[in-house]
Amino acid sequence: MIVIGCDHGGFELKQELMNYLKSIGKEVLDCGTYDTQSVDYPDIAEKTCKEYLKGGYEFGILICGTGIGISMAANKIDGIRCALVSIEYSAEMTKRHNNANMLAFGGRVTGVELAISILKAYMNAEFEGGRHENRINKIHSLEK
């Protein structure tokens, strides 16, 4: 199960990524927004991340116009490691080294085909653990 959320700037890309994920057999929980009416991305980040933190999700996806605001908001929430990704290499490495549990995209930055390719790079990668686990623990110690 994957949880996804967007503001109005990410609505179209959210629909496309949901369609892709469903086409490969993934279940997706849609935290909105559900149309192109203007909403505030911190509200969507909060709703989506809190849903993710309930447990049972592989990872989450957040989309706003640039991906910047919604990733900034997500990373304020304890337990969230949100990576704003715009190329496959970063997506692969954020899984391998940061074990990002939330991916952010810019709906006005990244086209559908590239976004799907980036998503595949993340999903096909594995967290390496070891020294990277220690570094992740240090990230979360900054929350205190």
Residue length of the chain: 144
Question: Which residue has the CB atom at the shortest distance from ligand RB5?
Answer: 69
Q: Positive or negative, the Cα torsion across 91, 125, 142, 64?
A: positive
> In the bound complex, what is the minimum distance in angstroms from residue 9's beta carbon to ligand RB5?
3
- Amino acid symbol at 128: E
Q: Please identify which residue in 7, 13, 84, 99 interacts with ligand RB5, judged by CB under 6 A.
A: 7
Angle at 57 between CA 61 and CA 112, to 5 degrees: 25
Nearer to ligand RB5, 66 or 75 (CB): 66
Residues 6+ apart with CB under 8 A from 44: 5, 6, 7, 31, 32, 33, 62, 64, 70
- Residue range at the interface with ligand RB5 (CB under 6 A); choices 21-29, 43-51, 64-72, 132-140: 64-72
Q: Would you count residue 11 as binding ligand RB5 (CB under 6 A)?
A: no
Residues labelled catalytic: 64, 97
Q: Which residues lie near ligand RB5 (CB under 6 A)? A: 7, 9, 41, 64-66, 68-69
